[in-house]
Each structure stands twice: as structure tokens, then as C-alpha cells.
Amino acid sequence: MFRFLENLVDPYEPYDEVDAPPRKLWPFLVSYSRPFKTVFVWAAVLSLLVAIMEVGLIYYLGRVVDLLSSGEPAQVLEQYGTELILAGVFILVIRPLVQAADVGVLNNAILPNYGTLFRWRAHKHVLRQSVGWFENDFAGRIANRIMQTPPAAGDAIFQVFDAITFSLAYAIGAVILLADADLRLVIPLLVWLGLYAWLMTWTMKRVGPASKASSDARSMTTGRVVDSYTNIHSVKLFAHHDGELRFAKEAIEQTRQTFSREMRIFTMMDVMLVTLNGLLIVGVVGWAIWLWGEGSATVGAVAAATALTLRLNAMTGWIMWALSTFFRSLGVVSEGMETIAQPITLVDAADAKPLELHEGVVEFKGLTHHYGREKGGLDAVSLRISAGEKVGLIGRSGAGKSTLVKLLLRFYDPEGGRIEIDGQDITHVTQDSLRHVTGMVSQDSSLLHRSVRDNILYGRPDASDAEMIQAAKRAEAHDFILDLSDPNGRTGYDAHVGERGVKLSGGQRQRIGLARVILKDAPILVLDEATSALDSEVEAAIQDTLYGVMEGKTVIAIAHRLSTIAHMDRIVVLDAGKIAEEGTHSELLAHGGLYAGFWARQSGGFLNTDAAE
């Protein structure tokens, strides 16, 4: 039975992905809820049935009181015994079955699957965002919204069927029941319902915005705390413990204040609700007793009115809290939508096709990109890299080297100009196909918090263990990997490396990153300070490996250590976003320009270069 209910909806079923989800709350929730529409209908029907049965039981309680007052016990039991037995069977069998179906649909079919579907689709959407999008927000805040929005959406849906549908049906049933006993008993109930509706309106208008503000503050706190943990080395290195505490305290205090304002609303609601419930009890029960005293109502009617009123009194707090939870959850969803519903701005063109690599010619044509600013980045750069050519890229910090690489990998779309690979504009090919043919070793080789094996196989998941180990050996990583262990007793290639690879040294991370790219064996290779974290001995040991990896590939290598690119086919010097010089090492030295100046400073410093060079 549980398995049947749990499998009514597949949270991972295929769906039409959209680049721009609805930005308004209800259309957004509807778009995520479509797979559940049939289950929602059943949940609503069952909730209505439960409410009808509850009101019916109170009605029947009044009937039982009247029956017991109608004659001698033996006479009553003889005349109505069968009816009472059937009522008992209904209460013992039918009512539990309907209740079980109601809670089963809610607890087993909707709640687990709805939250899972929500989280899966939200994560899938966010993962499609560009690198630039992630660079503009806290990773902790993004993750917090992905994690807290689905359960909030699930809570909202749960309250719709568990409380709101039930309470509406119950209120209508209560009016019908009292009207059947005596139409005048409906008057105090309707007055109370009007005041209760006003209180709900007053509360909900305030709860939604207050909850959104509180949720936003929690996300900010999470973002700041995670930022400190992620950069704990910098925090310790610069002794900024107290500064980080102050930075976090601002967000924590903001969270406390927003939550306090939210709780004030609930306190005021509770006080007003107790007062209203007192009016309900006195109004309905008092009037029923008065009508009984006049002979206009039976004892059973008084008993039914009393039971109904006390039941409503018990329910009102639950209903109000359920409604508050509903609107509070909607506030959390609204806050989460600020991340989850953001449109994907960097998308494949409608007619995008996989990149067809023939030779590996890369051409930058009038490439301009300033990140939306007036300066920085690249300014009308044109550069052709032939198939199999190795090009070194140098320049001062901010000259545009990394921008060129990010645009080549299409982490951003250029503001002007275009990039072509074998004559194909990269904005007209699929992003995945572009990155499949490109391998990159970066200066900061951040690793996944998984095993060494998982990290290297990220380059080519279908590679064999033998191929993976061979790649590690070529990257001079195999020996130190065998010595690794983690707190859970995993060793060697099974050892986990910590978040972003923090358990490894910079040089170890870079060598694993290099092994990953060696295993990928992509025809276009980008080296962004690929040996910057290596000591001279290890760098010298893998230089031959690097040149072997470059063989037959189109290579763009960024380096501040000029010795690592001195043997490239061509060296391009960027300055202030433009190409200042280009040529071979010897040509640029003879030219006596920027490159010659860089070389003169480095050859007398930390680089060991041959006299011939």
C-alpha cells in the first residue's frame, strides 16, 4: 500500500525545461504542481469526505441524545439498536478507512514526492545558470534557498488539503447542522465566522511579508557563515576571527529582529483568537440553551450545538496556525524564487548544433567584453590560432587573459565580436559540445569533495582504472595519491579530498587537475597557470609531460612564469585589453618591448633560465 501511494507520482519524470520560469508565485507553483493534479483532486475529495464525516458525527451525537430521551432504555434499544450498531460499524470501519486514505495520499503520495520534485527541478534549473551568475551570489545562500524552498512548498500544499479544504467543508457543514436544529443558531455562528475571517485576513496580510523578510535574513546568515567556513584558511591566516564574528553577527541579529517581528503577529493573533472563541461559545451555546428553555430546541440540538462549538473552538487555533503556516511557507517560497525562478540568460541558440571539430582552428574576431563596465576586459581583440598551434598568453593582471579564456569556454557571451572554432560561431553550437572538446587546467584547481578517483574520472567517466592511473602517473600524482588517507579510513584513490580539495596542498590539487585533463584528452587545451602551485622540482618533472599532452592539440597557455611558455610556437602579449605584441620568444626579445621587459625582470629573479634562452 505504501509503495503504491509513493509511486503515484514520479518526481524525476521528464518535463519541458524553460529558460524563464514564471516570476509570480501562483503561476510558479502551478508549473511545478502539474504532475500532481490528479493526486490533488483525490486529496481534496478525501479531505471533504473527512470533514463531512466529522460534522455528521456531531449531528448524530445530537440524534443519539434525543433517541435516549425518547423512552425507556429497553424500548429505545429494541427500536434503534440496529441503527446504533450500524453507526458503530461505520465509526470503527468506514471512518478509519477514509481517514487512512486521506492521510496516505497526503503523507505518502504528495509530501515526499512534491518536495523531491521541487528540489530536483530547482537544482537542475540553477545548475544551468552561467558561471557569471554564480559569481554574483553567495554559494551558501543559493544552497539554502534550494534546500528550504521545497519543504516550504510542500508545507503549503499540505495545509491546503489538511486544513484549509477541511475547515471550509467543516464550516459549511456546521452552518447546515445548526440551521437544521434551529435557523436562529446560525446567526451567532455567521457573526463569529465574519470576525474570524477578518482576523485571518489581518494576520495573513502581515505573515507573508514578515515570513519572506525572515527567510531572506536566514539565507543571508547562511551565506555569510558558509563564506567564512569556505575561506577558513584566509580567516585564520589574517587573524580575522573577530571580524568574521562581527560580519556574521550583523546577519544573525537581522534574522533575530525579523523573526521577532514575525512572532509578534502570532502573539496578537492568539490573544484575539481566544477572545473570539469565547464569543463563539457564549453566543451559540448560550442561545441554544435559551431556545431550549423556550421549548424551541431539543436537548439533542443543545448537545449538538455544544459539541460543534467546542470542536470549532479546538479547531480554530489549529486552522489559524495552519493558515499562518500556509502563508509563511508561501513567503519562504517567494524568497526562494529570487534564486530558483531567475531566468537562464546564457542559453544555447534555438538552432544550436553540436560542434563539429575538424582541425581545431580557434579564431577571435573583434572580441570585446567589459563585464558591463566601461573599462577592463577585452577591447576589439582579433587573434587566429591555427590547428595544433601552441600559443602563450601573457600580460599584467587585468590585461584580459582570463577573460579571453572564459569567453572561449562560453562562461560569458561577448559584448562584441565573435569566437569561431573551425569556422563555427561558438554561440551557435551547444555549450556541452564546446566544453567536451576543450580541456582546461586552471591556477586554482578546485576539486569536488569526493574521492581522488571520482575527481580524476570527472575528465572521462567511462575510463578504466588503468587509464586513470596512467593519467595520474603522467601528472606525477600517482605516488602521493597512494599515501593519502581520510578520517573514514579510505586510502589511496578512494580517499576523499575535502571541500574544494582543502585536504591537499596546492601542488597536489593542481596535479590531480592535470591528471583529469590528461584523461579527458580534449583536442583544444587551455592552461591557465597550470604549474603555478608546483615547486621547481615537480614542475621540471612534468614539463615533458605537459609538452607530450600538448602534442597534436591547439593550445592556449596563460603563464606568469615565462619559462613555461618560452618554447611556444607564438607568444601573445595583452595589455589593457588589447594585443600589444606577438611573435616567438626570440622575436619578442629582439623587439625590446613589453615581453622583453617582463623577461628581463623574471630572468634575474625566481626563474632559472638557460643562457641561450
Above 90 in pLDDT, residue 395?
Answer: no
Please give the grid coordinates belonging to residue 424.
563555427
Query: Quick one: pLDDT at residue 287?
Result: 76
Residue 611 makes CB contacts below 8 A (sequence gap 6+) with none
Whether residues 573 and 591 fall in one domain: yes
Place of cell 554559494: 139
Query: Quick one: pLDDT at residue 535?
Result: 61
What's 327's domain CATH number?
1.20.1560.10
User: Which of 107, 143, 194, 165 lies closest to 326, judged by CA?
Assistant: 165
Query: Quick one: pLDDT at residue 440?
Result: 86
Look at residue 326 and tell me if it is in a domain: yes
Look at residue 396 and tell me if it is in a domain: yes
Range of the domain at 427: 349-437+567-613
Whether residues 72 and 43 fall in one domain: yes
Query: Quick one: pLDDT at residue 456?
Result: 93
Residue 550 makes CB contacts below 8 A (sequence gap 6+) with 390, 525
What's 587's domain CATH number?
3.40.50.300
With cut-offs at 50, 70 and 90, classify the pLDDT of residue 613. very low
Look at residue 356 and tell me if it is in a domain: yes
Angle between helices 299-340 and 111-127 in degrees, nearest 10: 20
What digits encode the pLDDT tens for the residues 197-249? Answer: 888 788 777 877 887 788 788 888 888 888 888 777 678 777 888 888 888 89
| Amino acid of residue 108 | N
Whether residues 317 and 387 fall in one domain: no
Please tell me which of 65-69, 191-195, 313-317, 469-473 the model is most confident about, judged by mean pLDDT: 469-473
For 550, half-sphere exposure in the C-beta direction (CA atoms, 13 angstrom radius) is: 23
Whether residues 408 and 366 fall in one domain: yes
What digits encode the pLDDT tens for the residues 98-128? Answer: 989 999 998 899 989 998 999 999 999 998 8
Average pLDDT over residues 14-27: 88
What digits encode the pLDDT tens for the residues 244-285? Answer: 888 889 889 998 999 888 888 878 887 887 888 788 777 777
What digits encode the pLDDT tens for the residues 572-581? Answer: 999 988 999 9
Whether residues 235 and 317 fall in one domain: yes
Look at residue 62 and tell me if it is in a domain: yes
Q: Is the sign of the CA dihedral 565, 567, 569, 570 positive or negative?
A: positive
Look at residue 78 and tell me if it is in a domain: yes
Measured distance CA(612)–CA(585) in Å, rounded: 12
What digits encode the pLDDT tens for the residues 508-564? Answer: 888 888 899 899 989 999 988 766 555 666 666 667 677 777 888 899 988 877 877
pTM here is 0.74
Residue 168 makes CB contacts below 8 A (sequence gap 6+) with 51
Look at residue 559 and tell me if it is in a domain: no
Look at residue 368 and tell me if it is in a domain: yes
Whether residues 134 and 99 fall in one domain: yes
Number of domains in the chain: 2
Average pLDDT over residues 567-591: 91
Measured distance CA(388)–CA(362) in Å, rounded: 10
Window from 86-90, 307-311, 387-391 with minimum mean pLDDT: 307-311
